[in-house]
Structure formats: C-alpha cells, structure tokens
Amino acid sequence: MGRNLFLPKLSFSHRDFAASRLRVSWNPVQSREGHEGATIASIRLRPKRPTKYCITTGKRLNVYIKRELRINVMQRLNAYISGKVQKTGYRARVVTIAQNLRLNGYVQNLENGLVKVVAEGETANLEELLKAIDIKNTLINVTDIRKEYSPAIGDFDSFFKAVSGGETDQRLDAAAHLLKKLIVVNEKILGVITATHEELKETHEEIRGSREDIRGSCEDIRSSRDAIVGEIRASRDATVCEIKASRDATIGEIRASRDATVCEIKASRDATIGEIKASRDAIVGEIRASNDVIAGEVSEARDAIVGEIGELRVDLKESVDDRMTRIESNISQIKEKVSL
C-alpha cells in the first residue's frame, strides 16, 4: 500500500490525464511528507469524490489534490509550407503571428521552395498558429501544410526569422507591402474606369434614342407634307395662290424647327463630350499622381537596400581582412615555436 500525501494547492484538469509522464512538485512545508517531487506513473479519478484526484507515483505515493490547476503540455511543431510563399513577405507575417501567440522558434526559406516553421509552445497556441499561417491573398497562396509534433526541447527564447547570407529581407518585405498597395490602388482605379465606361455607354444609348426620335419626327413631317401636297394638288386649280403661300410658310416652319433641333443636339453633344473629356483627364491625373508616389516609395526602398548591401560588403571585407591578419600572426607564432 502506498502512502497518502495531502497537497492543498495542486491539481490537474481532465485534458492532462493523457500525458504519459509529468512532473509534480510541492512545498514541503505545506505537505505532510518532506518530498521534493516525484514522476507520475498513473492518474486515476476517484468516482465518488469528483473534486479530488488520486495520483500514483513511481514511489508508490498516493497524492490527493483538491483545487484545480491546469498544466499546459509544451510541444514542438515542425511545419513545412508549400505554395507561393517565398519572396512574398510570408515569413514576416509568420513572425508577427507567432510572437502574438507567445511562441518560440523560427521560420526559414528552404532551397526547394518550401518554408519551414519550427515553433514551441502550448498545443492550443500551435493549432492557432497553423490556422493563421494558412494565408491566401493577392501575393501569398498557401497550398499545403505538412506538420509534425514532438516534445518541446526549449532551444529558443523568442521567435525569429532565419535569414541566409546576403538577404536584405526586411527591405524586400517592405517592397512587397508597397507592391500590394499598388495592386489595390490599381484595382480601385480599374473599378472607377469601368464605372465611367458604363456611364459612357448609357449616355451613348440616350443619344442614339434621341436620334431615333428625331428620325421619327422627320418621317412624320414628311408624311404630313405629302398629305398637304396632295390636298394642294387636289384643289390646285381653285386655290393655287393660297396653297403656295401655305406651303412656303409650312416649309419655313419646318426648316426653323429642324435647325433649332439640330442646334440643340449639337450643343448637348458638345457638352456631353466636354464632361467626358474632363472626367477622363481627372482620372488620368489621379492615376499618374498615384503611380509617381508609389514609384518614389519603391525607388527610396531600392536605394536603401542598395546602401545596406554596400555596408554589408564593406563590413564583410573588413572582417575577412581582420581574420587573415590574425591567421598570419598565428602562423608566424607557430613557425617561431617550431624553429625553437
């Protein structure tokens, strides 16, 4: 039979029962026995006392615990992400998400086009990480995530981005962000152009309808004129002078009405064309201004990248020269020792 220890400040939640090996320790002053800790061999729930748990340890000690205390099992996640994930700012997004979830580890580009993520933390946070890094947008498109779990080792103190030699990754991420903004702006401009094109189509249809109405009016006028001419011809012998006078007056009115209608159509057309040109010039000006601003930002980012690369080359050259000097000094010292 094992001995019973009463520990008032320790307990485990139900989800922790699946753990094969856990560590439990307690304050010797608070326990009835002076043990510093033991490895748990099995955990058994007492059915008649659901608020307490019986833990059988490797030392045959039965530990009864009252209050509930969650023990979070730390795990290590190795994930390999495939898709359009390199040179898109994907690693920066992963670093931000992992740091917000308080995970430790790193993210790294692989030569085969995959991205490797190594993270340590609680299981729930690791699952949240897997959901959050499954990104699909204009630049990033994750197609598959292959994951592996193992016990946490504790090799990392934070989450960082593993960068190979010669990368200027932060500037590339900034350039990718600016490119994404450019794409969004172009999409908005395309939407405005499409809407303007639809308005132009509607205006053209209205003009076409007005032209058809004018044609109909002309046909009506012609029919009326023919009827009048027929009546004039029927009574020509009796009222030639009256018919001529009436015909001339009618022709004058028709011409005046036609001229007025033509002038109105021309004025309306010129006004519509002027509005269309002004709208088009305003849109073109906005597009050019937006492109100039974005081109300036991209140029500044490019110049900054070139400057950083130059500084890195100078630092690398100085470091190599310093090492060569040290090596030559060490060789000289070795030669002196050998000659002695």
Mean of pLDDT values over 282-301: 89
Alpha carbons 139 and 176: distance in angstroms, whole number: 8
pLDDT above 90 (res 91): yes
Residue type, 282: A
pLDDT at 69: 44
Residue type, 145: I
What's this model's pTM, rounded to 2 decimal places? 0.35
pLDDT above 50 (res 33): no
pLDDT above 80 (res 83): yes
pLDDT above 60 (res 7): no
Contacts of 193 (CB under 8 A, 6+ apart): 283
- Contact at 8 Å (CB) between 119 and 99? no
3-state secondary structure of 310: helix
Mean of pLDDT values over 19-30: 36
Sheet (strand 61-65) strand order: 3-7, 61-65, 53-57, 38-45, 23-24
pLDDT at 158: 94
Where do the structural domains in the chain lie, given as residue ranges? Answer: 3-65, 74-162, 177-314
pLDDT-derived band at 42, boundaries 50, 70, 90: very low
Q: What is the mean pLDDT of the chain?
A: 78
Helix 240-339 / helix 169-234 crossing angle, nearest 10 deg: 170
Mean of pLDDT values over 88-113: 95
Proportion of the chain above pLDDT 70, given as a percent: 74
Q: 74-162 — its CATH code?
A: 3.30.70.100
Active site residues: 91, 109
pLDDT above 70 (res 72): no
Using alpha carbons, select from 32, 24, 38 the residue that is nearest to residue 69: 24
Q: Which residue has the tokens 């030639």?
A: 240
Alpha carbons 50 and 230: distance in angstroms, whole number: 113
pLDDT at 217: 80
Mean of pLDDT values over 316-333: 90
* Inter-CA distances, 142 with 92, 214, 299, Å: 15, 60, 29
Select the more confidently predicted residue: 261 or 120: 120
pLDDT above 80 (res 130): yes
pLDDT above 50 (res 90): yes
- The model's pLDDT over 221-264, given as tens digits with 9 standing for 90+, comes to 888 888 888 887 887 888 788 878 888 898 999 899 899 988 99
Residue type, 50: P
- Ramachandran angles phi, psi of 68, nearest 5°: -80, 135
- Ramachandran angles phi, psi of 89, nearest 5°: 80, 15
Greatest mean pLDDT among 156-160, 164-168, 181-185, 198-202 lies in 156-160
pLDDT at 50: 38
3-state secondary structure of 149: strand
pLDDT at 43: 41
